[in-house]
Amino acid sequence: MARLTLPKKARQKALLERLKADPFLTDEELSDIFHVSVQTIRLDRLELGIPELRERIKSVAERNYEKIRAIGGPEIVGELIELELGKSGISMLTATEDMVFQKTKIVRGQYIYAQAESLAIAVIDAKVALIGVANIKYKIPVYLGDKLVAKAEVVRRRGNKYFVWVKTKVNYQEAFRGKFILVSMDDGQ
């Protein structure tokens, strides 16, 4: 990709992108890629405030250590702020880089949905299964960095069936709403 020796500014820009794509490159490997000396690479990193390889690796490891827990690990997506079991709950989620479309920086619906669904399940204090969702609406787009505040309310209970409304707001504006229908499995299958 970087065939010729680029001028300083262009090289530094390319360096940034290159390391974002692959943070596992040593200065020596980078000096090969950009056809400059190792010292030049170091100088570039210094000017750009890019830490050394080991620090980069470490931060990737740490960041992802948390992230894996944030996505796959916990029972709930986002941070639980308030919870009244069987009645209502509030959770907050900050939209990070990996949740958005690269081009538009708009958060993918699946994350907004995941926050809402997991909150709906959390407010029902029992082994539940989601059996249906109705009338989901995405009202305004959510962008990178936005804070999603989801509020769930159990609106009706019929036997072991629960109806939970979840409304998500961004900057006090409703961005998402949906009705979740859950069934408790505590007794009888």
Q: Tell which residue, 79, 172, 66, 170, has the closest CA to residue 118.
A: 79
Q: Select the span of 12-20, 84-92, 122-130, 156-164 touching a copy of itself (CB under 8 A).
A: 122-130
Query: Does residue 143 touch a copy of itself according to CB under 8 A?
Result: no
Site map (CB under 8 A) of a copy of itself, residues 14-53, x = contact: ----------x-----------------------------
Query: Does residue 177 touch DNA according to CB under 7 A?
Result: no
Query: Does residue 43 touch DNA according to CB under 7 A?
Result: yes
**Residue 22 or 82 with smaller CB distance to DNA:** 22
- For residue 188, what is the enclosing H or E element? none
Query: Does residue 7 touch DNA according to CB under 7 A?
Result: yes
For residues 144 and 182, is the Cβ–Cβ distance under 8 A?
Answer: no
Instruction: Report the nearest approach of a copy of itself to the CB of residue 94 (Å).
Output: 14
For residues 131 and 189, is the Cβ–Cβ distance under 8 A?
Answer: no
Query: Does residue 62 touch a copy of itself according to CB under 8 A?
Result: yes
From 15, 19, 53, 112, residue interacting with DNA (rule: CB under 7 A): 53
Alpha carbon 79 to chain centroid distance? 12
Nearest 10 degrees: Cα torsion 86, 90, 96, 98: 20
Query: Does residue 129 touch a copy of itself according to CB under 8 A?
Result: yes
Distances from the Cα of 31 to the Cαs of 21, 36, 37, 42, in angstroms? Answer: 16, 5, 5, 9
For residues 118 and 71, is the Cβ–Cβ distance under 8 A?
Answer: no
Query: Does residue 8 touch DNA according to CB under 7 A?
Result: yes
- For residue 176, what is the enclosing H or E element? strand 173-184
Q: How many CB atoms lie within 10 A of CB 34?
A: 20
Q: Which residues make up the interface to a copy of itself (CB under 8 A)?
A: 24, 54, 57-58, 60-62, 64-65, 67-68, 71-73, 75, 77, 98-99, 101, 103-104, 106, 108-110, 113-114, 117-118, 127, 129-139, 141, 178
Q: Which residues make up the interface to DNA (CB under 7 A)?
A: 7-8, 11, 26-28, 36-37, 39-40, 42-43, 45-46, 51-54
